[in-house]
Amino acid sequence: ALPICSRRQNVFRGKSAWTGKKPMNNANKKREHWATRAGFVLATAGSAVGLGNIWRFPYMTGEHGGAAFILIYLVAVLLLGYPLVVNEMALGRAAQRDPVGVFKVLAPNSPWWLVGALGVFTGFIILSYYAVVAGWSLAYVYKVVVATVVPGIDHARVFQDHISSVWEPILWQALFLILTVGIIAAGVVKGIQRWSMVLMPVLFVLLLVLIVRSVTLPGAGEGLAYYLRPDFSKVTGRTLLAALAQAFFSLSLGMGAIMTYGSYLDDKDEIPSNAMMVGGLDTGVALLAGFALFPAIFALGFEPGAGPGLAFITLPAVFAQMPLGAFFGVLFFILLGIAALTSAISLLEVVTAWLMDEKDWSRKRAAVVMGLVIFIVGLPATLGYSVLKDFSFPGLNKDLLDTYDWVSNSIFLPVGGFMMAIFTGYVWGAKHAIAEVNKGHKRFMIGQGWALLIRYVVPVLIFFIIVVGIYDTFFR
């Protein structure tokens, strides 16, 4: 058994109750809290709504049986996603600390803080390559104009040339990180909240404009049919796993991003309904993205694909065929940039909160220094398409960016989410967790059903995601 004082009800708020020495953290300074409910919900939805919603979810839906997949995805969000969002919010608010601090507070003198440390490390790695892809999006805000107005241009070539040139992607990556650092350095309310309140509504409007353009093209129906026609014959065991893994990834779970945002909640804020709104917004944007993409892709006679190829090669080709395509292309890449930026700030906030709470750094210093280090750690991922093109880890057969992506998303995130569910279910205790979740409730409360999910259903589901993910990478 782990040497844990597990039923600790009193929650650490300021002075160190068990080490006797002065706390090495900012907890005795006043912790910032969200100024408004909408600020918290939009910031957290901003973390969740990212590249995964725009280029992964629609594609998976089209591949895995349309409306049949959507149905399964909704069940995955309810059984796995929602319970874990609630869990991270509750853990963060209970401890009022960064992910490492959460476990130090709730399970002092135990190795559980390592789960938080894994989360902080994962945030660090994800941001290092997320910034590379986000940089491509920023570059494409103007490159797409060139690509759509020059007749007969080879779109695959344009993209290949961009990512394999050495300096250009590095400059855009740096610019993206400077924006991220700037927002985080300004603080929770003046940075994260203020910018989420601006960027998220802009994102919704851009998405709606693109949808209207897409579904009004002649021949849009074919794309809608591809996206939505339910085909249960395409649903297999793997479909279920794909839906679970996507729900988990899309909600930014497993690394303490939602936990860190939750640590800026107050006891009078409500968790169950806010978590519901975040899940709803994230799922809504994912569903809507399909309406922006497929009708246009099919109407203009293209084949859908997923990932960077879809965004940076297929879509520019689609925009090139479309009336006013350059204009809509610019809107699309601004949308992609915003989706990436609001996710990136939550990633940098995890690392920043850790340095502030555990190492007593100032917010500005933490944001700037970590931004720089993350930039440097991301350089191999950028250079993996140019200078380091021929390098790949033995046995993995992936370029460097995909390698960063694979370790974080297939291993670190699910392991983190698994441990967080076990922690709440068996160490902190479902009883304390439920009490924490329901504090400040005005709309609805959660109860034993949630505890059953966290204790039994969630760990089993994540276990399968991890095992099958590893099997698929190495043995298939």
Shortest Cβ 46–ligand TRP spacing (Å): 9
Sequence-separated (6 or more) residues with CB below 8 Å from residue 142: 330
Shortest Cβ 405–ligand TRP spacing (Å): 10
Is residue 61 at the binding interface for ligand TRP, with CB under 6 A as the rule? no
Instruction: Go through 94-127 and write b for each residue having 16 or more CB atoms within 10 A of its CB, e for each that does not.
Output: bbbbbbbbbbbbbbbebebbebbbbbbbbbbbbb
Instruction: Go through 296-332 and write b for each residue having 16 or more CB atoms within 10 A of its CB, e for each that does not.
Output: bbbbbebebebebebbbbbbbbbbbebeebbbbbbbb
Is residue 53 at the binding interface for ligand TRP, with CB under 6 A as the rule? yes
Sequence-separated (6 or more) residues with CB below 8 Å from residue 150: none
Is residue 173 at the binding interface for ligand TRP, with CB under 6 A as the rule? no
Which string of x and - marks every residue 347-376 that binds ligand TRP (by CB under 6 A)? x-----------------------------
Stretch of 167-175, 244-252, 261-269, 290-298 contacting ligand TRP, by CB under 6 A: 244-252
Is residue 51 at the binding interface for ligand TRP, with CB under 6 A as the rule? yes
Nearer Cβ to ligand TRP (108/469): 469
Shortest Cβ 233–ligand TRP spacing (Å): 28
For 323, phi then psi, to 5°, come to -60, 135
Sequence-separated (6 or more) residues with CB below 8 Å from residue 36: 193
Shortest Cβ 469–ligand TRP spacing (Å): 15
Nearer Cβ to ligand TRP (23/191): 191
Shortest Cβ 8–ligand TRP spacing (Å): 28
Which string of x and - marks every residue 245-284 that binds ligand TRP (by CB under 6 A)? ----xx-x--x-x---------------------------
Is residue 52 at the binding interface for ligand TRP, with CB under 6 A as the rule? yes
Which string of x and - marks every residue 112-151 that binds ligand TRP (by CB under 6 A)? --------------x-------------------------
Q: Output the CA torsion 286→381→98→414 (10° steps).
A: 60
Contact 84, 248 (CB under 8 A): yes
Q: How far apart, in whole angstroms, are the C-alpha atoms of residue 296 and residue 222?
A: 10
Residue in 47, 260, 274, 283 binding ligand TRP, rule: CB under 6 A: 47
Is residue 343 at the binding interface for ligand TRP, with CB under 6 A as the rule? yes
Shortest Cβ 48–ligand TRP spacing (Å): 5
Shortest Cβ 43–ligand TRP spacing (Å): 11
Sequence-separated (6 or more) residues with CB below 8 Å from residue 323: none
Number of residues that bind ligand TRP (CB under 6 A): 15
Residue with the two structure tokens 């967080």:
420
Nearer Cβ to ligand TRP (297/347): 347
Q: Output the CA torsion 38→39→42→44 (10° steps).
A: -120
Is residue 346 at the binding interface for ligand TRP, with CB under 6 A as the rule? yes
Give, in degrees to the nearest 5, the angle at Cα 255 between 250 and 258: 65
Shortest Cβ 49–ligand TRP spacing (Å): 6
The DSSP code sequence of 52-84 is IIIIIHHHHHHHTTTHHHHHHHHHHIIIIIHHH
Q: How far apart, in whole angstroms, are the C-alpha atoms of residue 453 and residue 13?
A: 29
Q: Output the CA torsion 102→104→108→111 (10° steps).
A: 110
Q: Which residue is nearest to ligand TRP (CB)?
A: 50
Shortest Cβ 84–ligand TRP spacing (Å): 12
Nearer Cβ to ligand TRP (127/454): 127
Shortest Cβ 465–ligand TRP spacing (Å): 14
The DSSP code sequence of 376-431 is HHHHHHHHTTTTTTT---TTT---HHHHHHHIIIIIIHHHHHHHHHHIIIIIIIHH
Shortest Cβ 50–ligand TRP spacing (Å): 2
Nearer Cβ to ligand TRP (192/217): 192
- Rule CB under 6 A: which of 399-428 touch ligand TRP? none
Give, in degrees to the nearest 5, the angle at Cα 284 between 52 and 78: 85
Residue in 27, 43, 45, 48 binding ligand TRP, rule: CB under 6 A: 48
Contact 197, 38 (CB under 8 A): yes
Q: How far apart, in whole angstroms, are the C-alpha atoms of residue 457 and residue 312?
A: 38
Is residue 25 at the binding interface for ligand TRP, with CB under 6 A as the rule? no
Nearer Cβ to ligand TRP (241/317): 241
Shortest Cβ 128–ligand TRP spacing (Å): 13
For binding to ligand TRP (CB under 6 A), which residues are involved?
A: 47-48, 50-53, 126, 249-250, 252, 255, 257, 343, 346-347
